Homo-oligomer: A and B are copies of this chain.
Amino acid sequence: METVSENRSHGGTQGVYSHDSRETGTEMTFSVFVPDHDPGTKLPVLWYLSGLTCTHANVTEKGEYRAACAEHGIVFVAPDTSPRGEGVPDADGYDMGQGAGFYLDATQDPWADNFRMRSYIERELPALIERQFPVDMDRQSVTGHSMGGHGALTFGLRNPDRFRSVSAFAPICAPAQVPWGEKAFTSYLGEDRAAWAEYDAVALIGNGARLPNLLVDQGTADNFLEEGQLRPDLLREACENAGIEAEIRMHEGYDHSYYFISTFLAEHVAWHAERLKA
């Protein structure tokens, strides 16, 4: 692991790091905020998964999470959204290829060799984080935005023993039923929709996966809500049918941007902190 930068901020250290990923076959960059803490203490971890086109940098610069993480003693980890670089397959459009990994392990050409964000986030990066940072991996939670909200929901539903709590901002709740997901899943996973179900929060819940609790924030002025890409209505219905305690909050006038996320991310940190105690 190499240190790209470390800056003191909000009573902690905001770092950016890179490493050669075995899963993606590329150099991957991520950011970690570590609050000041007593030597030897191990802190709980909140994962933040970013949306289409984003890298670690968007939330690191615009997310306004550090004050809350310092207050609650939480390490904040923000990975990239896909492999990148020369030699890595890409596609026209912002919603496929580099910047659009959809947090899955691709099975189709030309993606299968590099696009392994599921294994990267589920196994490789956590092992690195545990080796390099003062973290207690028995206390993890996950959140994310848009495509990363989809990531947070599906990682949470598939790994109920790993994540104590799951939240999301404007998540893609049912990718198998919306244009973004249909395009990406067809290309990454192939035509057989049976292979899509483990990457679709609404389908996972329908198939019996459960979460202890869930917090979702969604702006009413989000153009992708209007386009039908996000479908919080389907998530709400699935949670009601499954008896999952879900707080899905609609925020009048807020859009899909970091102006929205930064307004509520500190509240999510506090909400996760409650569930990460002890």
Contacts and interface: CB of A to CB of B under 8 A. Distances in A.
Nearest to A254: B8
A9 B254 CA distance: 7
Q: How large is the interface on A (under 10, 10 to 19, 20 to 34, 35 or more residues)?
A: 20 to 34
Chain A interface mostly: mixed
Instruction: Find the residue from A61, A263, A266 having the highest chain B CB count within 10 A.
Output: A263
B258 A8 contact: no
A53 to B, nearest CB: 15
9 closest A-B pairs by CB? A9-B259, A7-B259, A8-B253, A10-B263, A8-B254, A64-B64, A61-B62, A9-B263, A14-B259
Interface of A: 7-11, 14, 61-62, 64, 66-67, 219, 221, 251, 253-255, 257-260, 262-263, 266
21 contacts: A7-B255, A7-B259, A8-B219, A8-B221, A8-B251, A8-B253, A8-B254, A8-B260, A9-B254, A9-B260, A9-B262, A9-B263, A10-B262, A11-B263, A14-B259, A61-B61, A61-B62, A61-B258, A62-B62, A64-B64, A67-B263
